[in-house]
């Protein structure tokens, strides 16, 4: 079983979209997938058309100790199960403050799930609070989605520090396995600069003891695609809403990459980052996907 937290304390970078659609792509590929909505915003829950009502057990009930994780898991499609979230989860950080072992509640709850799934994904809120620490304690891998634009790397240093701290104190198995470029607009110079900075940062870590020593930037890039933005409001993943869109292709390709099954012939290849050309958008995709103008801001990007 691979257990993966999808984390970035910056909001709106594609965490939930990635958990919903990468998770579904893996389920379509025949893997048994558990998706956990650990965000009081309940966006992942809503993405699967599950009403975050108080009558069904959700992640807050598990964390606050009352509910068994087995009862909180419900099937959302073939091979995919969800533990939903609820607005009450916002109170959990405060309520759990005096609980001994508050950082490992999710880990202990998930122990019962071992071997039932091939993949567990945790969709984290945009913060580095107790909920995110619980996610980092419960998993072995971290995926970090990034939107490669101005200030994309601001705060990433803090995120890596938090991961290192949790690894040292609570979860020695924790490592960052991948950084995923989301909402990507081809041809922007700034995106190329962000990726170059990231590469240098990761290169420096090779052979060291830090949890990102073996991290890679995924070869697959998730392009900006209006269908990906539309599908949650229909309570559908991209594979049910528009399976022929670039969004569906990108997440299907990412699933192959995560499974180690990517082959050179798998099209569309991710556009070379910073290249001035990009695959032609499909007719049903929106203008936002067309290659945008090179960015002339001249901003120097560094990991902060």
Query: Which residue ranges make up the site for Mg ion (CB under 5 A)?
Result: 15-16, 43
Confirm or reject binding of residue 12 to ligand ATP (CB under 6 A): yes
CA distance 211 to 227: 34
Confirm or reject binding of residue 187 to ligand ATP (CB under 6 A): no
Beta strand 119-123 with 175-181 is unpaired
Only one of the segments 6-14, 30-38, 70-78, 133-141 lies at the binding site for ligand ATP (rule: CB under 6 A); that segment is 6-14
Smallest distance, Å, CB 261 to ligand ATP?
22
**Which of 83, 24, 79 is CA-nearest to residue 50?**
83
**Structure letter (DSSP) for residue 232:** G
**Which of 28, 34, 33 is CA-nearest to residue 253?**
28
Smallest distance, Å, CB 277 to Mg ion?
31
Confirm or reject binding of residue 43 to ligand ATP (CB under 6 A): yes
CA distance 248 to 87: 29
Only one of the segments 7-15, 26-34, 151-159, 200-208 lies at the binding site for ligand ATP (rule: CB under 6 A); that segment is 7-15
Burial 176-208 (b: 16+ CB within 10 A, else e): bbbbbbbbbbbbbbbbbbbbebbeebbeebeee
Confirm or reject binding of residue 271 to ligand ATP (CB under 6 A): no
Confirm or reject binding of residue 149 to ligand ATP (CB under 6 A): no
| Interacting residue with ligand ATP among 40, 52, 187, 232 (CB under 6 A) | 232
Smallest distance, Å, CB 131 to Mg ion?
12
| Interacting residue with ligand ATP among 4, 5, 7, 13 (CB under 6 A) | 13
CA distance 227 to 233: 11
Torsion of CA 63, 118, 49, 144, to 10 degrees: 70
Confirm or reject binding of residue 38 to ligand ATP (CB under 6 A): no
Footprint of ligand ATP (CB under 6 A):
11-17, 39, 41, 43, 126, 182-183, 222, 224-225, 228-229, 232
């Amino acid at each position: 079983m691979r257990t993966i937290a999808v984390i970035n304390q910056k909001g709106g970078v594609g965490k939930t979209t990635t958990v919903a659609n990468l998770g579904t792509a893996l389920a379509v590929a025949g893997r048994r997938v558990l998706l956990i909505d650990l965000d009081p915003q309940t966006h992942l829950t809503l993405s699967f058309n599950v009403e975050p009502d108080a009558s069904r057990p959700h992640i807050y009930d598990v964390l606050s100790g009352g509910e068994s994780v087995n009862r909180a898991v419900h099937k959302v499609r073939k091979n995919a199960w969800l533990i939903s979230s609820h607005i009450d989860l916002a109170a959990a950080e405060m309520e759990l403050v005096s609980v001994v072992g508050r950082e490992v509640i999710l880990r202990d709850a998930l122990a019962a799930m071992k071997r039932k799934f091939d993949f567990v994904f945790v969709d984290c809120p945009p913060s580095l609070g107790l909920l995110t620490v619980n996610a980092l304690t419960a998993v072995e891998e971290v995926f970090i989605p990034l939107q490669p634009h101005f200030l994309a790397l601001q705060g990433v240093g803090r995120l890596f520090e938090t991961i290192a701290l949790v690894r040292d104190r609570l979860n020695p198995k924790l490592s960052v396995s991948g950084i995923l470029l989301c909402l990507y607009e081809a041809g922007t110079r700034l995106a190329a600069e962000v990726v170059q900075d990231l590469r240098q940062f990761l290169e420096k870590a090779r052979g060291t003891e830090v949890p990102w020593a073996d991290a890679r930037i995924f070869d697959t890039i998730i392009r900006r695609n209006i269908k990906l933005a539309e599908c949650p409001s229909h309570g559908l993943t991209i594979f049910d809403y528009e399976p022929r869109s670039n969004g569906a292709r990108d997440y299907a390709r990412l699933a192959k990459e995560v499974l180690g099954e990517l082959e050179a012939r798998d099209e569309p290849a991710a556009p070379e980052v910073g290249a001035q050309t990009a695959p032609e958008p499909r007719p049903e995709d929106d203008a936002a996907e067309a290659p945008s103008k090179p960015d002339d801001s001249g901003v120097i990007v560094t990991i902060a």
